[in-house]
Structure 1
Amino acid sequence: MDLGQVFTFALATAFCLGGAWLCISRWSRARHLLDTPTSRIRSAAQGYVELVGMLRELAVPQPVAPLTGEPCLWWRYCIEEYRSNGKRSSWSVLERGTSEAWLRLADATGECLIDPRGAEVHPAFRKVWTGSLRHPRGIAPSGWLGLLSSGKRYRYTEERLHEGEPLYAIGDFRTTGGGRHGLDLSSAKREVIRQWKGDYAGLLQRFDSNADGQLDEHEWNRVRLAARLEAEDRHRESSAAPEQHQMARPSEALPFVLSSHGEEVITRRFYWQAAGGAVMCLAGAVWLAMQLGITAW
């Protein structure tokens, strides 16, 4: 087997395995979305949850999209440069970025803050255009420099989420405050002691009665009692705080999706991508079988 055959064999194998991964991952995402029922914010269980509501303004002033300068709640952009090298030409990415500003989702029962970091975001607004400047909001060059740089050498893509748009969200849902959670006194007490041990000198100053530089059993009993009282005080304070709902990326390998489109649109898109992956896998398998047949021959 020569070097060219080895490369072709490796390429066919990668094509087959890549298609299989795309098919399985996209199919799994679609099934997770369909199998998770939509919840109301106020009554949603803790954990993996699907929500539907409207986007509301959270920060004043609103974030500004970096390419157009338009106010929005979330943005994603990409700047590409057109490069030509002989017979080959293509768009090459120069710069890209994604907003990390939190979002506020509201339904008829309440509001939920969403940390979009790590989310797969599908906004309804997407704008693509071209220009002659590295950045579309920059100062246009003048004179000979302007003539030399004329032409649409750059392509810009900007996606945005706006206030008042519908939003589909599925991710890890947590609620704090409002007395919603009971007190696990043992674990809360251990957490307080762990924090106090981080400042051991301060712990000795508070509880080392005989000043011998260590805590005996009697002194440790005082530490445990003080930690229990501290844990109870913290629980009372958190219970008195107003209830706050938040959604973020799940710790497990579960989809975290934010979309201006409904569940049906997103799942259909995932199914089409899964079908494309299956075709890619099949084509790679056929190609691989042909290469193996040629090699055997």
Structure 2
Amino acid sequence: MACSLAVSAGGAWWFLQRLSQARHLLDTPTSKIRSAAQGYVEFYGVLQQNVEAQLLGPLTNTPCLWWRYKIEEYTSSGKKRSWRTLESGSSEALLQLDDSTGSCLIDPRGAQVRPLTREVWRGGLRHPLGAAKTGWRALFSNAERYRYTEERLHVGQPLYAIGDFCSRGGGRQGLDLAAASGAVIRQWKGDFAGLLQRFDSDGNGQLDEREWQRVQLAATLEAEDRHRQQSTQLVQHYLGKPREAQPFILSCAGEDELVRQFYWQAAGGVLLCVSGALAAAWLLGINSF
């Protein structure tokens, strides 16, 4: 009974989650990077090489922009056989997405990444010695103990991205002087000895009210100067994980294909929910007799 109710509840949760994700994708209009509003947006573009990130796939040593890998071991105990994950991970370097109007840096941390390139192969060592086996070599690797999976994003691949968008530099950000001054003071307090050396005019090892006023004035001037310097920099656009419970997706497949997948997965959730409910009702009927 408990398992049946858990299956029903899990199916209902899966249905609502996948349906909500599909609605977010459909309700968010596609924007151009240059003219996009700050906040939750979606882009279509092409991945370009980011000069700050030169990555190699950890299992194949293939040059790429992003990678995710998994190493599994085949285990058997009696009649129970399964693949057990030994290692897994993904890269966190920024991606650069370009469309016809500009470029945007993407922080992939926390994203559902659906890459175009995915390689799966097997071997006899925990760490593979090279790229995935192909052709006749792959036929003789199926009985080997370890299974490797490596997924990658490459230069020139199309990318659909939906997440939280913000722009920095170019005078686009307003100045909250109180908050900016507070941030400067907190930074200075990290080196309290240096703060005393600059503002403790009587040398007693403390900051009195007059000296503290000097600290606040200097922090205000420093915050204004930093804002001016930031305003002279070129505008840089960023996309990252939303703070609210909204989908953050990076996919080589387009919106239509993603929405279809979410609808099918939502339908699967409905089937689980109904199956669990019917099983619970059947068990209740048996117990009533």
Using the size of structure 2 for normalisation, the TM-score is 0.88
Work out whether residues 45 and 160 of structure 2, in 8 Å CA contact, stay in contact via their aligned partners in 1: yes
Indicate yes or no: 2:230 matched with 1:261.
no
Alignment of 1:176-187 (within 5 A): 176-187=168-179
- The question of whether the paired residues in 1 share the 8 Å contact of 2:94 and 2:108 is answered with yes
Amino acid at match of 2:116: A
Secondary structure of 1:52 counterpart: strand
Of 65, 86, 92, the residue aligned with 1:94 is: 86
Q: Matched residues in 2 for 1:112 and 1:226: separation?
A: 35
Q: Which 5+ residue runs of structure 2 have no aligned equivalent?
A: 131-140
* CA displacement at 1:135 relative to structure 2: 2.9
Larger mean Cα displacement after TM superposition, 256-265 or 206-215: 206-215
How many Å separate the matches in 1 of 2:194 and 2:41? 42
TM alignment of 1:93-242, pairs within 5 A:
93-137=85-129, 151-242=143-234
Change (3 A) 1:223 1:16: same
Aligned Cα root-mean-square deviation (Å): 2.2
Question: 2:64 aligns to what SS in structure 1?
Answer: coil
- Please list the CA deviations of residues 65-105 of structure 1 after superposition, one character each: whole Å capped at 9, or x if unmatched: 22222221112222223333333323222322222222111
The alpha carbon displacement at 1:212 in A equals 4.0
The equivalent of 1:6 in structure 2 is none
Checking the alignment, whether the CA contact within 8 Å between 1:132 and 1:150 is kept in structure 2 is no
Per-residue deviation at 1:57?
A: 0.9
- Measured after TM superposition, the shift of residue 150 of structure 1 is 9.5
Aligned to 1:141: none
1:116 deviation in Å?
A: 0.9
Map of 1:21-32 to 2, 5 A cutoff?
21-32=13-24
Moved over 6 A (4+): none
1:107 partner amino acid: D
Following the alignment from structure 2 to structure 1, what is the Cα–Cα distance between the partners of residues 158 and 213? 55
Give the whole-Å Cα distance in 2 for the aligned partners of 1:259 and 1:160: 11
Q: 1: distance between equivalents of 2:66 and 2:5?
A: 39
Whether 1:277 aligns to 2:288 is no
| CA pair 165-295 structure 1, distance change in 2 beyond 3 A | same
Whether the aligned pair in 1 keeps the contact of 2:53 and 2:94 (CA below 8 Å) is: no
Q: Give the one of 5, 16, 28 matched to 2:8.
A: 16
Query: Is this contact kept in 2: 1:114–1:246, CA < 8 A?
Result: yes
- Count of matched residue positions in the alignment of Structure 1 and Structure 2: 279
Change (3 A) 1:85 1:222: closer
Distance 2:142 2:277 in 1: 47
